[in-house]
Amino acid sequence: MRSVSLGVWVGTGSRFENEKNNGISHFIEHMFFKGTKNKTARQLAEVFDSIGGQVNAMTSKEYTCYYARVLDEHFEVALSTLADMFFQSIFAAEEVEKEKKVVIEEINMYEDTPDELVHDLLSSVVFQGHSLGYTILGPEENLKSFTRNDILEYMSNHYTPDNTVIAIAGNVSSKDAIAQVLKLFGHFSGKRMIKGGLAQPVFHVDRVLRQKDTEQAHICLATKGYPLDDKHAYPLILLNNALGSSSSSRLFQEIREERGMAYSVYSYHSSYQDIGMFGVYVGTNPEQMDEVVALTTSILHDVQTNGIFDEELKKAKDQVKGSLMLSLESTSSRMSRIGKNELLLQRQISLDETVEQINAVTPEQIQQVAHELFSQPIAITAVGPLQQLPGVKK
């Protein structure tokens, strides 16, 4: 390939925040692009524009990543610029205040996106009382209170070598990559401080509506799932594929193709260090909401009782393996895969191991997972033009 993708992964996100500083991980991500001791915000942007590269960042509940993709000949420029942002960002007071306005607009944009908002509502319901239930953006009142000292204090506790992974994939030799990393990051020092360790989350079942004047009702249903690296991971991946993560899945075919009751309908699984959540999303006409929820739960219960057909399992295996192999033709996907594996699992999972695990999944394992997931009570959240949820509560 002619590209190189590189990412600096830090093991912190909204999960590691508290009520007062919720949103600070995401705010720090923004501030890394607002100027260093060596470059202004404009100059940082111009570095990547001038070499035809891409640079961005993302914050999740359990990690933050700063990443870039460039031509192989510009690898050193990209890595040195990321290092400059990582170590030399100045967090100028005027930039802090300016960026607060930007993130507040991001919060407002999110509030105007009900099909995204319903997922945040779901997390706040099922993980209520725990930091996994916090939004990544945080509340506006928190954002307005953040100071440069708050940023530096949070970073001193979380932006440490033992909590950071640098992942590189593409047309660069390991020897050259390691030499550059040692040159730019070799002085990195400090140790992570997490007082009392991670609190154990509890999955709560509840039904909550957010009133919004929208054309559709946006609904999420969820049950407790499995944590990262759980033994049920591969059966769950295949179950999710057969249920709702592809256009030939049961939910998509039954609700969209057969009945025309939704444009967007899918299932997913979110895994964290010590818990997981299996969810289904559907957007539909409010008048059809009760019928769609009933149909969705009947599909889940059918799989719980009868499992999936052999041809469904074969298709799911082929689709998951094909999707994985095609994604690895992208340096960005390879970088993300190795970065997350190292940060969250502390080990690498080879393609051969993954394929072997997928091939080994049996129909009995699929049904066992379906039974464990769908015999539990279901949490439901909805965003839409409704004052109450009589059918859903029933």
The mean pLDDT of 205-209, rounded to a whole number, is 92
Share of residues in the chain with pLDDT > 70 (%): 97
Per the structure, how many domains does the chain have?
Answer: 2
214 and 179 share a domain? no
**Contact (Cβ atoms closer than 8 angstroms) between residue 143 and residue 27:** yes
Residues 163 and 227 occupy one common structural domain: no
Last residue within a domain, chosen from 151, 185, 219: 185
Predicted local confidence at residue 72, as pLDDT: 97
In the numeric block, the tokens 């319901």 are attached to: 125
370 domain-assigned? yes
DSSP sequence for 149-205? HHHHHHHHHHSSGGGEEEEEEESS-HHHHHHHHHHHHTT-------TT-PPPP----
Give the pLDDT confidence score for residue 198 in this predicted structure: 78
Q: Evaluate if residue 393 carries a pLDDT over 60.
A: no
Looking at the chain, the whole-number percentage of residues with pLDDT higher than 90 is: 93
Last residue of a domain, one of 185, 219, 234: 185
Does the pLDDT value for residue 247 go beyond 80?
yes
What is the C-alpha separation between 375 and 363, in angstroms, rounded?
18
CB 353 within 8 A of CB 337: no
Mean pLDDT, residues 272-292: 95
298: containing domain: 207-393
Number of CB atoms found within 10 A of residue 100's CB: 17
pLDDT for 242 beyond 60: yes
Residue for token pair 């949490």: 379
Residues 141 and 223 both lie in one domain: no
Q: Are residues 295 and 384 in the same domain?
A: yes
Position 254, amino acid: E
Are residues 140 and 219 located together in one domain of the fold? no
Query: 224 and 369: one domain?
Result: yes
The catalytic position among 29, 62, 95, 312 is 29
The reply to whether 180 and 257 lie within a common domain is: no
Whether 389 has a pLDDT exceeding 80, the answer reads no
**What's the sign of the alpha-carbon dihedral 119, 324, 10, 105?**
negative
Residue 193 binned pLDDT confidence (cut-offs 50, 70, 90): confident
Q: How many Cα atoms occupy the beta-carbon half-sphere of 346 within 13 Å?
A: 3
Q: Tell me, what's the pLDDT at 283?
A: 96
- Residues 6 or more apart whose Cβ sits within 8 Å of residue 72: 1, 2, 3, 4, 170, 171, 172
26 with 67, same domain: the answer is yes
The pLDDT score that the predictor gives to residue 192 is: 81
* 150 φ, ψ (degrees, to nearest 5): -60, -40
**pLDDT at residue 382, as a whole number:** 94
Over residues 187-197, the mean pLDDT reads: 77
Annotated catalytic residue 287 = no
177 and 76 fall within a common domain: yes
> Residue 190 above 90 pLDDT?
no
Beta strand extents in 31-130 (DSSP E only): 54-59, 64-71
Which amino acid type is present at position 373?
A: L
**Residue carrying structure tokens 């997928």:** 358
Domain end point (choices 153, 185, 217) = 185
Mean confidence (pLDDT) of the chain: 95
| Same domain flag for 311 and 363 | yes
Task: Kindly tell me if the per-residue pLDDT of 201 is higher than 90.
Answer: yes
The residues near 91 (Cβ < 8 Å, ≥ 6 apart) are 31, 34, 148, 151, 152
Q: How far apart are CA 53 and CA 65, in angstroms?
A: 17
Average pLDDT (309-320) is 97
Q: What is the pLDDT of residues 127-153, one digit of tens each?
A: 999 999 999 999 999 999 999 999 999
Provide mean pLDDT across the span 177-190: 96
Question: What does the pLDDT look like over 79-108, one tens digit per residue?
Answer: 999 999 999 999 999 999 999 999 999 999
Q: SS3 for 305-343, per residue?
A: HHCCCHHHHHHHHHHHHHHHHHHCCCHHHHHHHHHHHHH
* pLDDT value at 195 more than 80: no
CA distance 297 to 165: 41
196 found inside a domain: no
Q: Are residues 48 and 115 in the same domain?
A: yes
Q: What is the pLDDT of residues 46-61, one digit of tens each?
A: 999 999 999 999 999 9
What pLDDT sits at residue 191?
85
CATH number for the domain including 117? 3.30.830.10
pLDDT band for 239, please (50, 70, 90 cuts).
very high
